[in-house]
Amino acid sequence: MKLVVAVDKDWGIGYKGGLLASVRADLAHFKELTMGKTVILGSKTLATFPGGKPLKGRTNVILSRRADFSPEGAVVAHSFEELLTYVQTHPEEDFLVIGGSSVYNLLLPYCDTAYVTVFDKRFARKDAYFTNLDTDRHWRCVSVGERQYSTKETDSEDGIPFYFTEYRRVKF
């Protein structure tokens, strides 16, 4: 499995169920990484999508404990075990974990690659965090893209420096 996440300097990922920033280049990068693949997410993350609907062009696997939860166009796993069974019985699929915080924490040990957009800024408001891969001995940064900046014409905030990185799990 792989994962896709956007973090700030403190490895914050969100505030009150939303992203820290909406940057068109980051959203395009996310789409490029996930299109045609299988994404794994929690029901709270699904609720933040337009209309609360699954992402188009991808198989959406939603982790939810609610027995009555069955959004149209998605596969629902009602337990961690059910999710692992789905992953193991679909070995041909390329799985990408896309959030939220509790789903990342649950599945990080099963991931071998992390695509991390780093916002080179500390956002004042954040209440959800991702594991700091720079201080985790199990992970190593293998690629850092060029520094880019958000713009007021297309993004939620002007002048946020950001770059795309790739981390890989270290094999001991």
Look-up: residue for tokens 């990080």? 108
The tens-digit pLDDT sequence of the chain (172 residues) is 999 999 999 999 999 999 999 999 999 999 999 999 999 999 999 999 989 999 999 999 999 999 899 999 999 999 999 999 999 999 989 999 999 999 999 999 999 999 999 999 999 999 999 999 999 999 999 999 999 999 999 999 999 999 999 999 998 7
- Architecture of the structural domain at 2-169: 3-Layer(aba) Sandwich (3.40)
**Is the CB of residue 63 less than 8 Å from the CB of residue 40?**
yes
Return the beta strands (E) in the chain as ranges.
2-7, 12-15, 18-19, 38-42, 59-63, 75-77, 95-99, 113-119, 128-129, 139-144, 148-149, 161-169
pTM of the model: 0.95
